[in-house]
């Protein structure tokens, strides 16, 4: 999985590309979360538009990121899930935990 970030006004967008299946992906995402917190970036969106597959380990990565952000006074939202990822999020009822938006623009406007 590849990870990139971009600044959109006061919000940082983390773009993920590939499969979220645990392992090294977890470290990449959590390293990025901690870096952003160190930089005092407290408004973050994770863009899932290029995530092809996600398993329970991938869900754990997102939950850890959300928990870390909340504990540090930040907001983390999800945007643009692919149909396969949206299905997993709905089945696991993660849409009740996360603020999840169909598009990146909707997520940006929610801040």
- What does the pLDDT read at residue 27? 83
- What does the pLDDT read at residue 41? 95
- What does the pLDDT read at residue 21? 87
- What does the pLDDT read at residue 83? 95
- What does the pLDDT read at residue 67? 95
Give mean pLDDT in consecutive 10-residue pieces for the chain, a chain of 111 residues. Answer: 92 94 83 93 96 91 93 95 94 93 96 93
Distance from C-alpha of 74 to C-alpha of 70, rounded to nearest angstrom: 5
Beta-carbon neighbour count of residue 109 at 10 Å? 9
Which CATH number does the domain housing residue 51 bear? 3.30.750.24
- What does the pLDDT read at residue 24? 81
Number of domains in the chain: 1
Could you list the residue range(s) of the whole structural domain that residue 23 is in? 2-109
Strands 2-8 and 43-54: unpaired
Token couple for 10: 């006061």
């Amino acid at each position: 999985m590849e990870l990139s970030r971009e600044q959109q006004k006061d919000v940082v967008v983390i773009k993920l590309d590939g499969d979220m299946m645990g392992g090294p992906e977890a470290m990449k995402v959590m390293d990025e979360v901690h870096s952003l917190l160190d930089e005092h970036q407290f408004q973050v969106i994770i863009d899932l538009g290029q995530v092809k597959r996600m398993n329970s380990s991938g869900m754990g990565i997102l939950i850890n990121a959300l928990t870390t952000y909340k504990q540090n006074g930040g907001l983390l939202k999800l945007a643009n899930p692919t149909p396969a990822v949206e299905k997993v999020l709905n089945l696991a009822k993660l849409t009740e935990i996360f603020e999840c938006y169909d598009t990146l623009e909707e997520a940006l406007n929610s801040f």
